[in-house]
Amino acid sequence: MNTISLKPKDVPLVRNVDVLVVGGGYAGFGAALAAAKTGASTLLVEQMSGLGGLVTLGYVALTFSYIEGVGIDLFAELKKHGAVKGRFVDPEKTKVIFEQMLRKANVEILYNTSAIDAITENSTITGVVIHNKGGQQAIMAKRVIDCSGDGDVAAYAGAPFEVGCDALSSYNQATSLVMRIGNVDMEEYRKVPSMHTYWRERIEESVANNEFPYMIDKRVNWVVVLPGREDRHQELMICYAHSRNCRNLDGFDLSRQLIEQREQAQWVMEFCKKRIPGFANAWLIDTAPMLGVRDGRRIIGEYKLTGEDVVNAKKFDDAIMRAMHSFDAHHPTEPGHIKHVVMKNADGVEEKRYATPGTWREVPYRALVPLTIENLLVAGRNFSSDFMGQSANRLVLECLNMGQAAGAAAALSVKDNVSPRRLDVKKLRARLEEMGVNLTRDPRYGVQRVETNQKVSADDILAPEQNPSGQADIVIKDDARNKYKIVSADAELAEIGYTNTGGDVGTNLE
């Protein structure tokens, strides 16, 4: 690649803070709020014009995991304002709630600003160079938390990282652009006995009849209803568009993916109007402002969480969160998902292994501490993991829980005048427990799912804020379970798209 040299120049120093958080998605929100609540002066930098990342700007559904710590407060606010229903939130209300909660904690927010370089001295990060309408500027910080999703700041600072799947030419997971569709007749839509099967069969028919130029994906990823809309005619979010052979650190390839998936959205809209009940008079409102990127860099830390750790439901002395989502790698090169890892059994024979239904695992603090660079932490989908380990822990609520741990750690390390690498983990775990994170008691978790396409009444759901160690999917009250058909989850179902406890995602939560 040809290069040019740029002249060095002085840039204005605009802030000097205890903790700088780069990235305002769920990980960054959790990090900034936890840091501020632990006593640190905190600045959150976000490249877009709103907080919430892929949930609010990418129209992504909530995931199956535990609501802990700051998440309990967040979901209490979301519910109070009618901003959450089942697995989805109202994007606009959620942006405002994020801002209100951060401002109440005295977190400063800087929008439309990108981190473009790291300021380091003797392998220690001391600040970040940013760019916005004010030009290039510098922010100095005692601690920096990289919640950018792609590990941009960590890479600028010189931390080692990995990208993509080694076995598949280092391609990243497939990306998705979510569609928002209006005027769907939900009464008609709900008449289909098994929406999961129905979508899959109609997709196969459309490909066979050349209505789709190619197989975009084998199944719809999820369909969710927005909160606060009229019950009969709803707005839906549909995740189906996909790009593959992705290089998610290449701006030109990301542009290719956006162009490709916007065109796919037009095909999908025509497909829905023709083949899916309730869509005859529907219309495409828009596609999400943010592309659904599932992985970029994975920063190498003091510990690398692996797919085997997920299978074995591994626990750690320095655990800072629990997780229970299954493997969820959107295949890098072909339609479909990778829901397993290949491991050798006791006889040395390779076999497929799955995240065992009804189990939970932990993420260690060391997976947030990059090698070689001091005073830097990472949180979110760029944490230290291998390809499949990341796929099971990259989801929204895992990112939130990682973020709050990183934020608390950063603030505590400033108070104790030690690098995050040297922080007393017992002190961090005690602080997280104080914030409402369960690290010592067995969590609640499920091993069953509601049969596909059953409507679950909101009155029968145990709300997240009532169950600090509950799941973000539906947890049905004990006295209401006899109203619904409950079936067991297993590895075969997981392979075709079911999760440990969630069932046919997005079709049984209304």
* Closest of 461, 460, 412 to residue 435, by C-alpha: 412
pLDDT digits (tens, 9 = 90+) for 110-122: 999 999 999 999 9
Q: Which span out of 1-10, 162-171, 479-488 was modeled with the highest average pLDDT?
A: 162-171
**pLDDT score, position 230:** 65
- Say whether pLDDT at 109 is over 80: yes
- Give 322-379 as a DSSP string: EE-PPP-EEPSSSSSEE--EEEE-TTS-EEEE-PPTT--EEEEGGGGSBSS-BTEEE-
CA torsion through residues 167, 168, 169, 173, sign: negative
Beta bridge partners, 461, equal: 476
What is the dihedral angle through the alpha carbons of 160, 120, 151, 302, rounded to the nearest 10 degrees? Answer: 50
Place of tokens 């860099």: 297
Tokens found for residue 154: 């960590």
Phi, psi of 289 (to 5 degrees): -65, -25
| pLDDT for residue 443 | 72
The phi, psi pair for 111, rounded to 5°, reads -90, 170
What is the phi/psi pair of residue 376, to 5°? -125, 135
Q: For residue 491, what pLDDT is reported?
A: 42
Cβ-based neighbour number of residue 80 at 10 Å: 11
How does pLDDT run across 216-260, given as a tens digit for each residue?
Answer: 999 888 888 888 776 666 888 999 999 999 999 999 999 999 999
Q: What is the pLDDT of residue 240?
A: 95
pLDDT, residue 223, reads: 85
Q: How far apart are CA 341 and CA 343, in angstroms?
A: 6
pLDDT digits (tens, 9 = 90+) for 364-405: 999 999 999 999 999 999 999 999 999 999 999 999 999 999
3-state secondary structure of 430: helix
The domains of the chain are located at 11-164+295-444, 174-293
**Residue 430, pLDDT above cutoff 90:** yes
Q: Residue 89, Cα to own-chain centre: how many angstroms?
A: 14
For 11-164+295-444, CATH gives: 3.50.50.60
pLDDT of residue 492: 40
pLDDT band at 295 (very low <50, low <70, confident <90, very high): very high
pLDDT-above-70 percentage for the chain: 85
Question: In the numeric block, which tokens belong to residue 397?
Answer: 């609520």
pLDDT at residue 189, as a whole number = 86
From CA 246, how far away is CA 156, in angstroms rounded?
22
pLDDT at residue 332 tops 50 = yes
Average pLDDT, the chain: 88
Residues 71 and 405 sit within 8 Å (Cβ to Cβ): no
* pLDDT surpasses 80 at 508: no
Contact between residue 463 and residue 27 where contact means Cβ atoms under 8 Å apart? no
Q: Phi/psi class of residue 321: alpha, beta or left (left: φ > 0; alpha: ψ in -120 to 50)? A: beta
Exposure of 383 in the CB half-sphere (CA atoms within 13 A): 32
Tens of pLDDT, residue by residue over 448-498, are 455 545 556 656 654 333 222 223 344 556 566 667 665 544 444 333 333
Q: What is the CA radius of gyration of the chain?
A: 22
Q: Is the pLDDT of residue 153 over 50?
A: yes
pLDDT at 363 over 60: yes
pLDDT tens column, 45-98: 999 999 999 999 999 988 767 888 999 999 999 989 999 877 788 999 999 999
In tens, the pLDDT along 256-273 reads 999 999 999 999 999 999
What single-letter amino acid sits at 1?
Answer: M
Name which of 476, 470, 478, 412 is nearest 441 in CA terms. 470
Composition of the chain by helix, strand, coil, percent to 5: 30, 25, 45
Please answer whether residues 425 and 365 qualify as being in contact, where contact means their C-beta atoms are separated by less than 8 angstroms: yes
